[in-house]
Amino acid sequence: QQQVKQSPQSLIVQKGGISIINCAYENTAFDYFPWYQQFPGKGPALLIAIRPDVSEKKEGRFTISFNKSAKQFSLHIMDSQPGDSATYFCAASSLTNTGNQFYFGTGTSLTVIP
């Protein structure tokens, strides 16, 4: 069972446009929601993250919108650039246990056309 569902699987956006990737989760125990960016041949790298006590977090051109009641969160990339072309993963984690288990979405391949 996929704990975190991500859509779309792929996305093509013109340079300067807005890229939007959506994720949904079921487990209300999750209390940390990061987004990772992965370039070919590299490991994922943390892009931005949010905790459920806020509805939005912005870092530069990247914004996470979080809807706790709907159990959904999304990544918005403003003014998308060709250098943003990568695979993006959402994830969810619970930090309240003795360990720290992360659940990842299946990824979105973003292509930004010049």
Partner 1 sequence: DSGVTQTPKHLITATGQRVTLRCSPRSGDLSVYWYQQSLDQGLQFLIQYYNGEERAKGNILERFSAQQFPDLHSELNLSSLELGDSALYFCASTPGQRSDTQYFGPGTRLTVL
Nearer to partner 1, 13 or 47 (CB): 47
- Find, among 35, 43, 37, 34, the residue nearest to 94 by Cα: 34
CB burial of residue 21 (10 Å; 0-12, 13-18, 19+): buried
What's the closest the beta carbon of residue 33 comes to partner 1, in angstroms? 10
- Cα angle 80, 81, 85 (rounded to 5 degrees) comes to 95
Query: Residues interacting with partner 1, by CB under 8 A?
Result: 32, 34, 36, 41-46, 49, 89, 91, 93, 95, 97-107
Q: Is 82 helix (H, G, I), strand (E, B) or coil?
A: helix
Q: Which is nearer to partner 1, 14 or 101 (CB)?
A: 101
Q: How far is the CB of 72 from partner 1 (least distance, A)?
A: 18
CB closer to partner 1 out of 32 and 76: 32
Q: How far is the CB of 32 from partner 1 (least distance, A)?
A: 5
